[in-house]
């Protein structure tokens, strides 16, 4: 759900929260997609097909850690964002540290001393780095209602806290605005941010740097949208599990049902036409009514994650005004809808040209749904508001 009129961007510091001293900037362009073409996150438009082998990646992380005196977890941060270019990554590491680089010349040999802001290192405390790929992962999808100015800073902080506590490998966000994008990016350095815009409101995807490897992304425009809606598509992998991740905020309001069905059709086409090696996961605030889904038709081999996990009533409604008081209708009747949804099309191993020997060597590659629940169900401390007028989706998958 969304108000179609853009509200003015407000400064999160206006909430009079004195515990935050990081300056806020209106930036959302470091990992931003625009237009219909496939774009590289790199400013130099490097070809993502040149990502090295896993063995080479491991060697590069070890070299980075040795040169910088850090560890392989931090090495992955810098190398992934710079297409595994060791020289660029090391230079970026030293240049990004507050206090800069100082060379001491008191002894026989020069000694390099680096002082830096340890925010990213602190974010990795307790994280165990392993060369063994995870056997499970989870995804949160959440419309965080960035267009609503009431308690915006406190609500955004609650979203951040939820992400930190749940530690999903992937996050789909809708209704992100420039100021909340910047605020979240500062506080979640362990995630790579990929935005579908930089003005008004837009979707954003987060990838946990220590488990999910980014391979490329594309932004697909909906040609007849009147609300600047689009489809953000990201390719990534967790070990041998290839993922095509898709999020969108489909056209809002009942009167735009026909446009919404067109957009859903386009998204489902992308899901079903993806190469068989991909586990395709599509989710977001789809503003979907059951009759619209019936009119479009559910594609074969595609599962509704909520339905596949037993259709639990407690997790059915994601925009529920009978429980969530952030938005209320003037009448006694308060609607509840399943606007937010998530779909999975599993990879097809049998269609892969890889031999059984190679398949066994590289490990499992099929994502299987194990659990589905909701997040954001508690009111934000010190307010009468929930983090958003939408509940967030949290889906858990096993790689088998």
Active site residues per annotation: 285
Q: Phi and psi at residue 273, in whole multiples of 5°?
A: -90, -5
| Token pair for 129 | 């780095």
Closest CA to 82 of 115, 48, 106: 48
Q: Please report how many Cα atoms fall inside a 13 Å half-sphere around the Cα of residue 202, on the Cβ side.
A: 27
Q: Are 10 and 150 in contact (CB under 8 A)?
A: no
Q: Is residue 353 a contact partner of residue 296, using CB atoms and an 8 Å limit?
A: no
Beta strands in 161-315 (DSSP E): 170-176, 191-195, 202-208, 213-221, 230-238, 241-249, 279-285, 303-304
SS3 at position 150: coil
The angle, 0 to 180 degrees and rounded to 10, between the axes of the packed helices 54-68 and 72-81 is 110
Q: How many residues does the chain have?
A: 400
How far apart CA 48 and CA 375 sit, in angstroms, is: 34
Greatest CA separation for the chain = 81
């Amino acid at each position: 759900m969304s108000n179609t009129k853009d509200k003015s961007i407000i400064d999160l510091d206006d909430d009079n929260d004195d515990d935050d001293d990081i300056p806020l900037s209106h930036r959302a362009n470091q990992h931003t997609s625009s237009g219909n073409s496939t774009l590289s996150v790199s400013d130099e438009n490097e070809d993502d097909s040149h990502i090295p082998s896993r063995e080479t990646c491991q060697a590069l992380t070890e070299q980075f850690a040795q040169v910088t005196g850090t560890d392989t977890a931090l090495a992955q941060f810098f190398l992934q964002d710079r297409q595994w270019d060791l020289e660029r990554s090391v230079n970026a590491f030293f240049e990004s540290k507050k206090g800069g680089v100082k060379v001491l010349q008191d002894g026989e040999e020069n000694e390099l001393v680096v002082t830096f802001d340890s925010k990213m290192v602190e974010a990795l405390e307790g994280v165990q780095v392993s060369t063994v790929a995870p056997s499970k992962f989870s995804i949160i999808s959440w419309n965080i209602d960035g267009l609503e100015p009431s308690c915006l800073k406190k609500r955004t902080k609650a979203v951040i806290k939820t992400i930190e506590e749940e530690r999903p490998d992937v996050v789909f966000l809708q209704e992100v605005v420039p100021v909340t994008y910047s605020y979240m990016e500062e506080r979640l350095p362990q995630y790579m941010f990929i935005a579908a815009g930089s003005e008004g409101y837009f979707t954003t995807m987060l990838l946990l740097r220590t488990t999910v490897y980014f391979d490329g992304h594309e932004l697909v425009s909906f040609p007849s949208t009147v609300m600047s809606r689009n489809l953000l598509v990201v390719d990534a992998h967790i070990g041998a599990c290839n993922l095509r991740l898709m999020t969108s905020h489909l056209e809002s309001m009942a009167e735009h049902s026909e446009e919404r069905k067109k957009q859903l059709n386009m998204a489902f086409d992308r899901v079903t036409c993806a190469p068989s090696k991909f586990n395709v996961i599509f989710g977001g605030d789809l503003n979907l009514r059951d009759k619209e889904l019936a009119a479009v038709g559910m594609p074969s081999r595609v599962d509704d994650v909520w339905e596949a996990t037993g259709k639990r009533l407690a997790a059915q409604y994601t925009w529920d005004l009978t429980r969530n008081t952030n938005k209320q209708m003037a009448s006694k009747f308060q609607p509840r809808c399943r606007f937010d949804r998530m779909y999975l099309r599993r990879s097809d191993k049998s269609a892969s040209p890889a031999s059984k020997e190679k398949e066994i060597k590289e490990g499992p590659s099929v994502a299987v749904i194990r659990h589905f629940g909701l997040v954001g169900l508690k009111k934000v401390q010190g307010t009468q508001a929930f983090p958003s007028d939408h509940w967030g989706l949290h889906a858990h998958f096993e790689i088998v």
